[in-house]
Structure 1
Amino acid sequence: MSWETVQLDWNDAVATVTVDRPDALNALNEPTLEAMAEAIAEAEAKEARALVLTGAGDSAFIAGADIAHMQDLSVAEAQSWGDLGHAVADALESFPAPTIAAVNGYAFGGGCEMALACDLRVASESAVIGNTEIDLGIIPGWGATQRLPRLVGAETARRMIFLGERLDAESAAEAGLFGEVVPDEELEDVVDELASRIAAKPSVAMRTAKQSLNYSHEAPRSAALEYEKRAFASLFGTHDQREGMTAFVEDREPEFE
């Protein structure tokens, strides 16, 4: 499939979804969100072992949602708009392989929320991130009120959402939003290397690890621990479990499926 404002590229088993509206700082309108959903679904159908989300150009990851589209929405229309954004963010969060946000510039509002939905976030030194919706008279609508506190804690999340604070890359990393900050010109290479390392890991175990981590946010601790025990046991007898342990005992590199 092809789309006007989204690209899906492949490097072996790594899929990269690029929001391609650089003239609009990659702001998300309805066709772009729908294209993102389709691209993510295609990457899943083709069994990508890692997925990278980024933005085209040098200025923005995703500068936010399309405010011109939002300004005259009715309550019912805003509900549908919120549902669409949530569907894309949920697709990133539930994707069966790890997802990486390569934050290469502005990541405000809905752009920040898409980064929050990814498993890992790597930023360029020029990146700036924030939930800026309060200054538009609204609140985050694509998951930030739930995902942001898990990453940065309640106090920082409240300050970011109440004040619409924008954090530079280093400040965001110190807060826990970014796992790594690299020079602008190195971002693509660093993310490629990280995604390739992830893609080389055993896919079934990786998917199970992600599911277990996600479940920890949805269930009481006792239920989440029980889920982990079952998930751990379910991997025994798989090719990758036997290969990984045999390779360890034989002191060689494993050959995972």
Structure 2
Amino acid sequence: MEYQYLLLDVADKVATVTINRPDKGNALAPGVLEEIIDVFAGLGEREDVSVVVLTGGERYFSAGFDLNEIRKLEKVSNEAYTALFHRAYRAILFCPQPVIAAVGGAAIAGGFDLTMMCDVRYASSRAKFGQREVVLALTPILDPLWRIIGLGRAKEVALTGRIYDAQEAERMGYVSRVYPEGELLASVKTIATEMAGYDRMCLIETKRLSNQLLNLDLDGAMRTQEWLFRTYLGSQENHQRIDALQARLAADRRK
């Protein structure tokens, strides 16, 4: 399917979704959000996709809300627009496959929220992050932010509206790694391709498990993890991968 505001590429079991509205800093107009909902719904059904990368390219991620669209709204007529944002957020957050954010530039307000919905975040050294809703007299999203960086730091991000550079985002644990400018997409593609080579259902179940654990007590979490481990241990896929790993190790020893 052709999209107006998104580019979709699938190769090596990795789907790369690129927000493509550079003239507006990839601002999240309704059309962009509708396409995000559609593309992630479709990717969740694809057996040939094991990992998804969400990006705006090497120069952008998303400047956030399209303020011209926001300014048109009234309190009595904002329900559909609010629901559209949250449907887009949920489409990413609950996509069955792991979703990696590759952040090449500013990820602000709604753009920041999109990165928050991803499972892993990598950034270019030129990236910037900011939950700027409070500056616009809007309430921000604190969950899942607090699950990622802790409640105290999440409060700071939400209440101050500060802009953080990539290095500070990495130090607070929001970003997993920062790459030099121009090297982000190639580096993330390498990581995503390696991940996509793993068992697809194991990836999906691990993501699902990570979302369940915070709602369980410690005993329940341990039992759930034991049960899930048992469903894979000794499987044909497990045996094949052990054999392949041992063959590679033996070959390395012979060199």
Using structure 2 for the length normalisation, give the TM-score. Answer: 0.90
Question: What code does the residue aligned with 1:31 have?
Answer: G
How do 1:1-257 residues align onto structure 2 when only pairs under 5 Å count? 1-47=1-47, 48-56=49-57, 58=59, 60-75=60-75, 77-140=77-140, 144-236=141-233, 238-248=235-245, 250-252=246-248
Q: Distance in 1 between matches of 2:80 and 2:218?
A: 33
Residues 56-91 of structure 1 deviation map (CA, whole Å, 9 limit, x = unaligned): 462x20110212212232345433323222222222
- Report the Cα distance in structure 2 between the residues aligned to 1:56 and 1:247, rounded to whole angstroms: 35
Deviation readout 1:16-56 (Å, 9 max, x if unpaired): 11111101100111111111111112222223111000114
Identity over the aligned pairs, expressed in percent? Answer: 30
Greater CA deviation, 73-82 or 155-164? Answer: 73-82
1:173–1:181 CA contact under 8 A, matched in 2: yes
Q: State the alpha-carbon separation in 2 of the partners of residues 114 and 81 from structure 1.
A: 16
Counterpart AA for 2:139: I
How many residues end up aligned between the 2 structures?
Answer: 248
For 1:108 and 1:37, locate their aligned partners in 2 and report how far apart those are by CA, in whole Å.
Answer: 19
Q: Secondary structure at the match of 2:65?
A: coil
Give the unaligned 5+ runs of structure 2: 250-255
Structure 1 portions without partners, runs of 5+: none
CA shift at 1:209, angstroms?
1.0
Alignment RMSD (CA, Å):
1.8
Change (3 A) 1:158 1:202: same
- Scaled by the length of structure 1, the TM-score of the pair is 0.90
Counterparts of 1:84 and 1:226 in 2: how far apart (Å)? 37
Are 2:58 and 2:182, in contact at CA under 8 Å, matched by a contact in 1? no
Give, in angstroms, the shift of residue 156 of structure 1: 1.6
Indicate conservation of the 8 Å contact 1:22/1:57, yes or no.
no
1:39–1:147 CA distance, 2 compared to 1 (3 A):
same
Query: Structure 1 CA distance, aligned partners of 2:74 and 2:228?
Result: 44
